[in-house]
Structure 1
Amino acid sequence: MKDAVQWIRSLLFVGQAYFMMLPLGLLFLPWALVSRKGALTACKSWCVWIRWTASWMVGLRTEVRGTPPADEVMIAAKHQSFLDIILIFHSVPAGKFIMKRELLKAPILGQYALGIGCVPVDRGKRSQAIKKMVADVAKGKQQPGQLIIYPQGTRIPPGVSAPYKIGTGVLYDELGQDCVPVATNVGLFWPKRGIMRRPGLAVVEFLPRIKAGLDKEDFMARLEDEVETASDRLMREAGFDTPDR
Protein backbone atom coordinates (compact mmCIF):
# COMPACT_ATOMS: atom_id res chain seq x y z
CA MET A 1 0.00 0.00 0.00
CA LYS A 2 2.83 2.37 0.91
CA ASP A 3 4.57 1.75 -2.44
CA ALA A 4 1.27 2.25 -4.28
CA VAL A 5 0.79 5.66 -2.66
CA GLN A 6 4.39 6.63 -3.44
CA TRP A 7 3.93 5.55 -7.06
CA ILE A 8 0.83 7.75 -7.41
CA ARG A 9 2.69 10.68 -5.86
CA SER A 10 5.56 10.00 -8.25
CA LEU A 11 3.23 9.93 -11.24
CA LEU A 12 1.80 13.31 -10.29
CA PHE A 13 5.29 14.71 -9.75
CA VAL A 14 6.61 13.45 -13.10
CA GLY A 15 3.53 14.73 -14.92
CA GLN A 16 3.75 18.24 -13.54
CA ALA A 17 7.53 18.31 -14.06
CA TYR A 18 7.20 17.74 -17.79
CA PHE A 19 4.15 19.99 -18.02
CA MET A 20 6.05 22.92 -16.47
CA MET A 21 8.57 22.81 -19.33
CA LEU A 22 5.89 24.27 -21.60
CA PRO A 23 4.78 27.42 -19.70
CA LEU A 24 8.30 28.22 -18.53
CA GLY A 25 9.70 27.56 -21.99
CA LEU A 26 7.15 29.81 -23.66
CA LEU A 27 7.47 32.51 -20.97
CA PHE A 28 11.24 32.87 -21.44
CA LEU A 29 11.37 32.08 -25.17
CA PRO A 30 11.51 35.70 -26.50
CA TRP A 31 14.45 36.46 -24.17
CA ALA A 32 16.10 33.10 -24.86
CA LEU A 33 16.00 33.66 -28.63
CA VAL A 34 18.11 36.80 -28.35
CA SER A 35 20.25 36.10 -25.30
CA ARG A 36 22.05 33.12 -23.83
CA LYS A 37 21.31 34.60 -20.41
CA GLY A 38 17.61 34.23 -21.13
CA ALA A 39 18.04 30.55 -21.99
CA LEU A 40 20.14 29.92 -18.88
CA THR A 41 17.61 31.72 -16.65
CA ALA A 42 14.74 29.68 -18.06
CA CYS A 43 16.52 26.37 -17.53
CA LYS A 44 17.64 27.27 -14.02
CA SER A 45 14.10 28.35 -13.13
CA TRP A 46 12.84 24.91 -14.12
CA CYS A 47 15.60 23.29 -12.00
CA VAL A 48 14.49 25.33 -8.98
CA TRP A 49 10.90 24.23 -9.56
CA ILE A 50 11.86 20.54 -9.82
CA ARG A 51 13.97 20.59 -6.65
CA TRP A 52 11.19 22.33 -4.72
CA THR A 53 8.33 20.11 -5.92
CA ALA A 54 10.38 16.93 -5.45
CA SER A 55 10.90 17.80 -1.78
CA TRP A 56 7.19 17.93 -0.88
CA MET A 57 5.52 15.84 -3.58
CA VAL A 58 7.67 12.71 -3.25
CA GLY A 59 9.85 13.45 -0.21
CA LEU A 60 13.03 13.67 -2.29
CA ARG A 61 15.43 16.24 -0.88
CA THR A 62 18.50 17.34 -2.84
CA GLU A 63 21.92 18.52 -1.75
CA VAL A 64 24.99 19.82 -3.55
CA ARG A 65 28.33 19.31 -1.81
CA GLY A 66 31.77 20.63 -2.58
CA THR A 67 32.54 23.79 -4.52
CA PRO A 68 30.87 24.18 -7.92
CA PRO A 69 33.32 25.79 -10.37
CA ALA A 70 32.65 29.23 -11.83
CA ASP A 71 35.59 29.42 -14.24
CA GLU A 72 36.31 27.78 -17.60
CA VAL A 73 36.60 24.10 -16.75
CA MET A 74 35.43 20.71 -17.89
CA ILE A 75 33.09 18.91 -15.49
CA ALA A 76 33.24 15.10 -15.72
CA ALA A 77 30.33 13.58 -13.81
CA LYS A 78 28.84 10.29 -12.79
CA HIS A 79 25.49 9.96 -14.58
CA GLN A 80 22.72 7.93 -12.94
CA SER A 81 19.53 9.78 -13.87
CA PHE A 82 18.10 13.05 -15.11
CA LEU A 83 18.31 14.41 -11.57
CA ASP A 84 22.11 14.71 -11.61
CA ILE A 85 21.79 16.83 -14.77
CA ILE A 86 19.39 19.14 -12.93
CA LEU A 87 21.56 19.48 -9.83
CA ILE A 88 24.84 20.05 -11.66
CA PHE A 89 23.40 22.55 -14.13
CA HIS A 90 21.61 24.46 -11.37
CA SER A 91 24.88 24.73 -9.40
CA VAL A 92 27.16 26.30 -12.00
CA PRO A 93 26.90 29.74 -13.66
CA ALA A 94 26.83 28.70 -17.32
CA GLY A 95 26.74 24.94 -17.83
CA LYS A 96 26.67 23.39 -21.28
CA PHE A 97 26.55 19.73 -22.17
CA ILE A 98 27.93 17.25 -24.66
CA MET A 99 24.59 15.87 -25.81
CA LYS A 100 23.02 13.37 -28.19
CA ARG A 101 22.10 15.02 -31.49
CA GLU A 102 18.64 13.39 -31.36
CA LEU A 103 17.71 15.67 -28.46
CA LEU A 104 17.75 18.66 -30.80
CA LYS A 105 14.48 17.35 -32.26
CA ALA A 106 12.71 17.59 -28.90
CA PRO A 107 10.28 20.55 -28.76
CA ILE A 108 11.46 23.40 -26.51
CA LEU A 109 14.22 21.24 -25.01
CA GLY A 110 16.20 21.21 -28.26
CA GLN A 111 15.88 24.97 -28.73
CA TYR A 112 17.05 25.69 -25.22
CA ALA A 113 19.91 23.19 -25.46
CA LEU A 114 21.33 25.17 -28.35
CA GLY A 115 20.60 28.42 -26.54
CA ILE A 116 22.74 27.53 -23.52
CA GLY A 117 25.60 26.35 -25.75
CA CYS A 118 25.30 22.55 -25.73
CA VAL A 119 27.47 20.58 -28.17
CA PRO A 120 25.49 17.94 -30.12
CA VAL A 121 27.26 14.80 -31.36
CA ASP A 122 26.19 11.70 -33.27
CA ARG A 123 26.29 8.49 -31.26
CA GLY A 124 27.44 5.24 -32.81
CA LYS A 125 30.26 6.89 -34.79
CA ARG A 126 32.85 6.99 -32.04
CA SER A 127 35.95 8.37 -33.76
CA GLN A 128 33.99 10.88 -35.83
CA ALA A 129 32.01 11.94 -32.78
CA ILE A 130 35.17 12.61 -30.76
CA LYS A 131 36.76 14.68 -33.56
CA LYS A 132 33.60 16.71 -34.07
CA MET A 133 33.15 17.12 -30.33
CA VAL A 134 36.63 18.60 -29.97
CA ALA A 135 36.12 20.90 -32.98
CA ASP A 136 32.71 22.11 -31.79
CA VAL A 137 33.91 22.75 -28.25
CA ALA A 138 36.91 24.67 -29.56
CA LYS A 139 34.63 26.84 -31.69
CA GLY A 140 32.49 27.55 -28.64
CA LYS A 141 35.30 28.91 -26.52
CA GLN A 142 34.09 32.45 -27.14
CA GLN A 143 30.92 31.41 -25.28
CA PRO A 144 32.20 31.01 -21.71
CA GLY A 145 30.93 28.34 -19.40
CA GLN A 146 31.45 24.99 -17.78
CA LEU A 147 31.48 22.06 -20.21
CA ILE A 148 29.66 19.10 -18.63
CA ILE A 149 30.43 15.63 -19.93
CA TYR A 150 29.52 12.13 -18.76
CA PRO A 151 32.58 9.88 -19.19
CA GLN A 152 30.55 6.66 -19.28
CA GLY A 153 28.43 8.08 -22.08
CA THR A 154 25.00 7.26 -20.66
CA ARG A 155 23.06 6.78 -17.42
CA ILE A 156 24.48 3.93 -15.35
CA PRO A 157 22.27 2.44 -12.59
CA PRO A 158 23.72 2.20 -9.07
CA GLY A 159 25.90 -0.87 -8.61
CA VAL A 160 26.47 -1.42 -12.34
CA SER A 161 29.99 -1.18 -13.78
CA ALA A 162 30.64 0.48 -17.14
CA PRO A 163 33.87 1.68 -18.80
CA TYR A 164 34.94 5.31 -18.96
CA LYS A 165 35.17 6.34 -22.62
CA ILE A 166 38.31 7.91 -24.05
CA GLY A 167 36.44 10.94 -25.43
CA THR A 168 36.69 12.60 -22.01
CA GLY A 169 40.47 12.18 -22.07
CA VAL A 170 40.64 13.57 -25.59
CA LEU A 171 38.71 16.67 -24.56
CA TYR A 172 40.83 17.15 -21.45
CA ASP A 173 43.99 16.92 -23.56
CA GLU A 174 42.75 19.16 -26.38
CA LEU A 175 41.14 21.87 -24.27
CA GLY A 176 43.98 22.21 -21.76
CA GLN A 177 41.49 23.02 -19.00
CA ASP A 178 41.22 21.79 -15.42
CA CYS A 179 38.65 19.06 -14.84
CA VAL A 180 36.23 18.97 -11.92
CA PRO A 181 35.00 15.42 -11.16
CA VAL A 182 31.47 14.97 -9.80
CA ALA A 183 30.10 12.01 -7.83
CA THR A 184 26.46 11.20 -7.10
CA ASN A 185 23.94 8.81 -5.58
CA VAL A 186 20.80 10.18 -7.26
CA GLY A 187 19.99 6.93 -9.09
CA LEU A 188 18.94 5.37 -5.79
CA PHE A 189 15.97 7.74 -5.64
CA TRP A 190 15.33 8.83 -9.24
CA PRO A 191 16.01 5.81 -11.48
CA LYS A 192 17.14 5.67 -15.07
CA ARG A 193 13.70 4.45 -16.14
CA GLY A 194 10.25 4.23 -14.61
CA ILE A 195 7.88 6.48 -12.68
CA MET A 196 8.79 5.73 -9.06
CA ARG A 197 10.66 8.46 -7.19
CA ARG A 198 11.76 7.39 -3.71
CA PRO A 199 12.10 9.66 -0.64
CA GLY A 200 15.54 10.38 0.74
CA LEU A 201 18.54 12.67 0.24
CA ALA A 202 19.92 12.76 -3.30
CA VAL A 203 23.43 14.22 -3.48
CA VAL A 204 25.85 15.42 -6.10
CA GLU A 205 29.34 16.22 -4.87
CA PHE A 206 31.90 18.37 -6.67
CA LEU A 207 35.31 16.83 -5.97
CA PRO A 208 38.71 18.58 -5.94
CA ARG A 209 39.72 19.59 -9.45
CA ILE A 210 42.25 17.70 -11.52
CA LYS A 211 44.71 20.23 -12.91
CA ALA A 212 45.34 20.46 -16.66
CA GLY A 213 48.45 18.87 -18.14
CA LEU A 214 48.32 15.24 -17.02
CA ASP A 215 49.00 12.42 -19.44
CA LYS A 216 45.71 11.31 -21.00
CA GLU A 217 45.86 7.76 -19.62
CA ASP A 218 46.86 8.94 -16.14
CA PHE A 219 44.02 11.45 -16.18
CA MET A 220 41.44 8.82 -17.13
CA ALA A 221 42.64 6.41 -14.43
CA ARG A 222 42.54 9.12 -11.76
CA LEU A 223 39.16 10.43 -12.89
CA GLU A 224 37.53 6.99 -12.77
CA ASP A 225 39.01 6.13 -9.40
CA GLU A 226 37.95 9.40 -7.78
CA VAL A 227 34.43 9.52 -9.21
CA GLU A 228 33.63 5.87 -8.57
CA THR A 229 35.10 5.87 -5.04
CA ALA A 230 33.18 9.00 -4.05
CA SER A 231 29.94 7.77 -5.67
CA ASP A 232 30.22 4.46 -3.79
CA ARG A 233 30.67 6.42 -0.56
CA LEU A 234 27.57 8.51 -1.22
CA MET A 235 25.52 5.42 -2.05
CA ARG A 236 26.67 3.61 1.11
CA GLU A 237 25.72 6.74 3.07
CA ALA A 238 22.21 6.35 1.64
CA GLY A 239 22.06 2.68 2.65
CA PHE A 240 23.09 1.02 -0.63
CA ASP A 241 25.56 -1.84 -0.28
CA THR A 242 28.61 -1.24 -2.48
CA PRO A 243 31.99 -3.00 -2.39
CA ASP A 244 34.96 -1.15 -0.95
CA ARG A 245 37.48 0.01 -3.54
Structure 2
Amino acid sequence: MRYLRSLIFVGQMYLAMAVLAAVFTPFALVNRRFAYDAVHTYCRYVRWSAAWMVGIRSEVRGPVPQGEVIVASKHQSFLDIILIVSVLPRPKFIMKASLRFAPILGWYALRIGCVPVERGRRAEAIRQMMSGVMAGDAPAGQLVIYPQGTRVAPGAFVPYKSGTAVIYETTGQPCIPAATNVGLFWPRKGIMRKPGLAVVEFLPAIEPGLDRETFMARLECEVETASDTLMAEGGMTFDGLPDHRS
Protein backbone atom coordinates (compact mmCIF):
# COMPACT_ATOMS: atom_id res chain seq x y z
CA MET A 1 0.00 0.00 0.00
CA ARG A 2 2.82 2.43 0.83
CA TYR A 3 4.43 1.78 -2.54
CA LEU A 4 1.12 2.42 -4.33
CA ARG A 5 0.62 5.68 -2.44
CA SER A 6 4.18 6.69 -3.32
CA LEU A 7 3.59 5.88 -6.98
CA ILE A 8 0.42 7.96 -7.08
CA PHE A 9 2.19 10.81 -5.32
CA VAL A 10 5.07 10.84 -7.80
CA GLY A 11 2.67 10.72 -10.74
CA GLN A 12 0.53 13.61 -9.54
CA MET A 13 3.69 15.61 -8.69
CA TYR A 14 4.75 15.59 -12.35
CA LEU A 15 1.20 16.19 -13.54
CA ALA A 16 1.07 19.27 -11.30
CA MET A 17 4.33 20.47 -12.86
CA ALA A 18 2.76 20.30 -16.32
CA VAL A 19 -0.44 22.02 -15.22
CA LEU A 20 1.38 24.88 -13.48
CA ALA A 21 3.71 25.29 -16.44
CA ALA A 22 0.71 25.69 -18.73
CA VAL A 23 -0.68 28.38 -16.44
CA PHE A 24 2.51 30.33 -15.73
CA THR A 25 4.65 30.02 -18.87
CA PRO A 26 2.90 32.68 -20.99
CA PHE A 27 3.47 35.19 -18.19
CA ALA A 28 6.99 33.96 -17.39
CA LEU A 29 8.02 34.53 -21.01
CA VAL A 30 7.23 38.20 -20.57
CA ASN A 31 8.39 38.80 -17.00
CA ARG A 32 10.88 36.72 -15.00
CA ARG A 33 8.91 37.45 -11.82
CA PHE A 34 6.27 34.96 -12.94
CA ALA A 35 8.93 32.26 -13.31
CA TYR A 36 9.74 32.72 -9.62
CA ASP A 37 6.02 32.65 -8.81
CA ALA A 38 5.74 29.38 -10.72
CA VAL A 39 8.61 27.60 -8.97
CA HIS A 40 7.52 28.85 -5.54
CA THR A 41 3.94 27.68 -6.15
CA TYR A 42 5.07 24.27 -7.38
CA CYS A 43 7.48 23.61 -4.52
CA ARG A 44 4.94 24.65 -1.90
CA TYR A 45 2.35 22.40 -3.55
CA VAL A 46 4.73 19.42 -3.46
CA ARG A 47 5.41 20.01 0.25
CA TRP A 48 1.67 20.18 0.94
CA SER A 49 0.79 17.10 -1.11
CA ALA A 50 3.69 15.05 0.33
CA ALA A 51 2.40 15.64 3.85
CA TRP A 52 -1.07 14.16 3.31
CA MET A 53 -0.36 11.67 0.53
CA VAL A 54 2.78 9.92 1.82
CA GLY A 55 3.23 11.32 5.33
CA ILE A 56 6.34 13.42 4.65
CA ARG A 57 5.96 16.57 6.69
CA SER A 58 8.57 19.22 5.99
CA GLU A 59 10.18 22.06 7.87
CA VAL A 60 12.72 24.76 7.07
CA ARG A 61 14.75 25.93 10.07
CA GLY A 62 16.97 28.94 10.59
CA PRO A 63 16.78 32.41 9.06
CA VAL A 64 15.95 32.21 5.35
CA PRO A 65 18.82 33.77 3.33
CA GLN A 66 18.08 37.08 1.64
CA GLY A 67 19.96 39.17 -0.88
CA GLU A 68 23.01 37.99 -2.81
CA VAL A 69 24.53 35.09 -0.90
CA ILE A 70 25.87 31.62 -1.58
CA VAL A 71 23.86 28.74 -0.10
CA ALA A 72 26.07 25.64 0.22
CA SER A 73 23.78 22.72 0.97
CA LYS A 74 23.88 19.02 1.65
CA HIS A 75 22.08 17.27 -1.21
CA GLN A 76 20.29 13.98 -0.60
CA SER A 77 17.32 13.98 -2.98
CA PHE A 78 14.95 16.15 -5.02
CA LEU A 79 13.15 17.04 -1.80
CA ASP A 80 15.93 19.26 -0.44
CA ILE A 81 15.69 21.26 -3.68
CA ILE A 82 11.92 21.53 -3.17
CA LEU A 83 12.33 22.81 0.40
CA ILE A 84 15.05 25.30 -0.45
CA VAL A 85 13.25 26.73 -3.50
CA SER A 86 9.97 26.98 -1.59
CA VAL A 87 11.43 29.62 0.74
CA LEU A 88 14.31 31.43 -1.02
CA PRO A 89 13.10 34.68 -2.61
CA ARG A 90 15.30 34.40 -5.74
CA PRO A 91 16.90 30.94 -5.92
CA LYS A 92 19.32 29.91 -8.64
CA PHE A 93 21.46 26.78 -8.80
CA ILE A 94 24.69 25.40 -10.13
CA MET A 95 23.17 22.49 -12.07
CA LYS A 96 24.16 19.67 -14.40
CA ALA A 97 24.22 20.93 -17.98
CA SER A 98 22.03 18.03 -19.13
CA LEU A 99 19.14 19.39 -17.06
CA ARG A 100 18.80 22.21 -19.60
CA PHE A 101 17.00 19.71 -21.82
CA ALA A 102 14.60 18.38 -19.18
CA PRO A 103 11.00 19.19 -20.15
CA ILE A 104 9.62 22.19 -18.24
CA LEU A 105 12.21 21.92 -15.47
CA GLY A 106 15.10 22.87 -17.74
CA TRP A 107 13.46 25.98 -19.18
CA TYR A 108 12.35 27.28 -15.80
CA ALA A 109 15.80 26.59 -14.32
CA LEU A 110 17.42 28.77 -16.99
CA ARG A 111 14.72 31.41 -16.67
CA ILE A 112 15.44 31.94 -12.96
CA GLY A 113 19.18 32.12 -13.58
CA CYS A 114 20.51 28.62 -12.88
CA VAL A 115 24.06 28.01 -14.09
CA PRO A 116 24.57 24.83 -16.18
CA VAL A 117 27.94 23.11 -15.84
CA GLU A 118 29.26 20.12 -17.77
CA ARG A 119 30.59 17.38 -15.55
CA GLY A 120 34.06 16.08 -16.27
CA ARG A 121 37.31 18.00 -16.26
CA ARG A 122 37.56 19.87 -12.96
CA ALA A 123 39.27 23.02 -14.26
CA GLU A 124 36.80 23.40 -17.12
CA ALA A 125 33.83 22.86 -14.79
CA ILE A 126 35.09 25.60 -12.46
CA ARG A 127 35.65 27.94 -15.43
CA GLN A 128 32.08 27.33 -16.61
CA MET A 129 30.75 27.93 -13.12
CA MET A 130 32.50 31.24 -12.73
CA SER A 131 31.56 32.39 -16.23
CA GLY A 132 27.89 31.72 -15.48
CA VAL A 133 27.95 33.15 -11.96
CA MET A 134 29.68 36.37 -12.98
CA ALA A 135 27.71 36.94 -16.20
CA GLY A 136 26.35 40.46 -16.32
CA ASP A 137 22.84 39.32 -17.26
CA ALA A 138 22.54 36.79 -14.44
CA PRO A 139 19.70 37.80 -12.08
CA ALA A 140 20.63 38.70 -8.52
CA GLY A 141 19.61 36.22 -5.88
CA GLN A 142 20.65 33.31 -3.72
CA LEU A 143 23.10 31.00 -5.50
CA VAL A 144 22.63 27.42 -4.33
CA ILE A 145 25.51 25.01 -4.78
CA TYR A 146 26.00 21.44 -3.62
CA PRO A 147 29.63 21.20 -2.44
CA GLN A 148 29.74 17.42 -2.89
CA GLY A 149 28.55 17.80 -6.47
CA THR A 150 25.88 15.11 -6.35
CA ARG A 151 23.14 13.54 -4.26
CA VAL A 152 24.60 11.63 -1.32
CA ALA A 153 22.64 8.95 0.52
CA PRO A 154 22.36 9.19 4.32
CA GLY A 155 25.39 7.60 5.93
CA ALA A 156 27.50 7.77 2.75
CA PHE A 157 30.39 10.17 2.25
CA VAL A 158 31.55 12.02 -0.86
CA PRO A 159 34.46 14.51 -0.61
CA TYR A 160 33.67 18.20 -0.81
CA LYS A 161 34.78 19.84 -4.06
CA SER A 162 36.69 23.12 -4.37
CA GLY A 163 34.17 24.89 -6.62
CA THR A 164 32.30 26.35 -3.66
CA ALA A 165 35.50 27.93 -2.32
CA VAL A 166 36.29 29.43 -5.74
CA ILE A 167 32.87 31.09 -5.88
CA TYR A 168 33.18 32.23 -2.25
CA GLU A 169 36.57 33.84 -2.91
CA THR A 170 35.65 35.37 -6.27
CA THR A 171 32.25 36.86 -5.39
CA GLY A 172 33.14 38.00 -1.88
CA GLN A 173 29.64 37.00 -0.78
CA PRO A 174 28.68 35.39 2.55
CA CYS A 175 28.13 31.63 2.44
CA ILE A 176 25.13 30.11 4.22
CA PRO A 177 25.70 26.41 5.00
CA ALA A 178 22.57 24.24 4.88
CA ALA A 179 22.02 20.81 6.39
CA THR A 180 19.30 18.24 5.71
CA ASN A 181 17.92 14.80 6.50
CA VAL A 182 15.48 14.45 3.58
CA GLY A 183 17.14 11.31 2.21
CA LEU A 184 15.71 9.31 5.11
CA PHE A 185 12.21 9.78 3.72
CA TRP A 186 12.62 10.65 0.03
CA PRO A 187 15.52 8.65 -1.46
CA ARG A 188 17.77 9.90 -4.22
CA LYS A 189 16.48 7.12 -6.48
CA GLY A 190 13.31 5.04 -6.59
CA ILE A 191 9.60 5.52 -5.94
CA MET A 192 9.15 4.59 -2.28
CA ARG A 193 8.51 7.46 0.13
CA LYS A 194 8.57 7.02 3.91
CA PRO A 195 6.69 9.13 6.48
CA GLY A 196 8.56 11.45 8.80
CA LEU A 197 9.72 15.02 9.33
CA ALA A 198 12.05 16.16 6.52
CA VAL A 199 14.13 19.19 7.44
CA VAL A 200 16.41 21.67 5.74
CA GLU A 201 18.26 23.89 8.21
CA PHE A 202 20.04 27.11 7.27
CA LEU A 203 23.08 27.57 9.51
CA PRO A 204 24.90 30.78 10.55
CA ALA A 205 26.68 32.57 7.73
CA ILE A 206 30.36 32.11 6.96
CA GLU A 207 31.43 35.67 6.27
CA PRO A 208 33.82 36.55 3.40
CA GLY A 209 37.55 36.70 3.98
CA LEU A 210 38.61 33.18 4.96
CA ASP A 211 41.33 31.43 3.02
CA ARG A 212 40.26 28.48 0.89
CA GLU A 213 41.46 25.71 3.19
CA THR A 214 39.91 27.24 6.31
CA PHE A 215 36.64 27.92 4.52
CA MET A 216 36.30 24.38 3.15
CA ALA A 217 37.15 22.77 6.49
CA ARG A 218 34.59 24.92 8.31
CA LEU A 219 31.90 24.39 5.65
CA GLU A 220 32.28 20.61 5.65
CA CYS A 221 32.35 20.34 9.44
CA GLU A 222 29.27 22.52 9.93
CA VAL A 223 27.16 20.94 7.18
CA GLU A 224 28.04 17.35 8.04
CA THR A 225 27.67 17.80 11.80
CA ALA A 226 24.29 19.51 11.49
CA SER A 227 23.08 16.96 8.91
CA ASP A 228 24.08 14.09 11.22
CA THR A 229 22.09 15.75 14.02
CA LEU A 230 19.03 16.06 11.79
CA MET A 231 19.35 12.47 10.61
CA ALA A 232 19.62 11.24 14.19
CA GLU A 233 16.49 13.25 14.95
CA GLY A 234 14.84 11.46 12.03
CA GLY A 235 15.68 8.05 13.49
CA MET A 236 18.99 7.16 11.85
CA THR A 237 21.69 5.42 13.88
CA PHE A 238 25.38 5.74 13.04
CA ASP A 239 26.78 2.60 14.66
CA GLY A 240 29.40 1.05 12.41
CA LEU A 241 29.51 3.96 9.96
CA PRO A 242 32.94 5.54 9.39
CA ASP A 243 33.50 9.13 10.45
CA HIS A 244 35.22 10.93 7.58
CA ARG A 245 35.43 14.30 9.28
CA SER A 246 38.29 15.53 11.44
Q: Report TM bin, short chain.
A: over 0.9
CA RMSD of aligned residues (A): 1.2
Q: 1:194 to 1:218 in 2, by over 3 A?
A: same
**Equivalence for 1:173:** 169
1:189 corresponds to which of 185, 209, 225: 185
Is the CA contact 1:235–1:242 (under 8 Å) kept in the aligned structure 2? no
Is the CA contact 2:112–2:139 (under 8 Å) kept in the aligned structure 1? no
For residue 210 of structure 1, give the secondary structure of its aligned residue in structure 2: coil
**Equivalence for 1:163:** 159
Displacement of 1:207 in angstroms is 0.2
Does residue 152 (structure 1) correspond to residue 148 (structure 2)? The answer is yes
**Equivalence for 1:211:** 207
1:64-83 matches, within 5 Å, as: 64-83=60-79
For residue 222 of structure 1, give the secondary structure of its aligned residue in structure 2: helix
**Distance in structure 1 (CA, Å) of the matches to 2:97 and 2:228:** 31
Is the CA contact 2:64–2:87 (under 8 Å) kept in the aligned structure 1? yes
**Equivalence for 1:122:** 118
Does residue 237 (structure 1) correspond to residue 233 (structure 2)? The answer is yes
**Distance in structure 2 (CA, Å) of the matches to 1:31 and 1:98:** 25
1:52-131 matches, within 5 Å, as: 52-131=48-127
TM-score when scaled to structure 1? Answer: 0.96
Cα offsets for 1:53-72 (capped at 9, x unmatched): 10100011000000111111
Displacement of 1:125 in angstroms is 2.2
Structure 1 segments unaligned to the other structure (5+ residues): none
TM-score when scaled to structure 2? Answer: 0.95
Q: Which runs of 4+ in 1 moved over 3 A?
A: none
Cα offsets for 1:165-200 (capped at 9, x unmatched): 011111111111000000000000000101000001
Q: Given residue 66 of structure 2, which amino acid in structure 1 is its aligned partner? A: A
**Distance in structure 2 (CA, Å) of the matches to 1:141 and 1:203:** 33
Q: How many residues align?
A: 241
Displacement of 1:142 in angstroms is 5.6
Structure 2 segments unaligned to the other structure (5+ residues): none
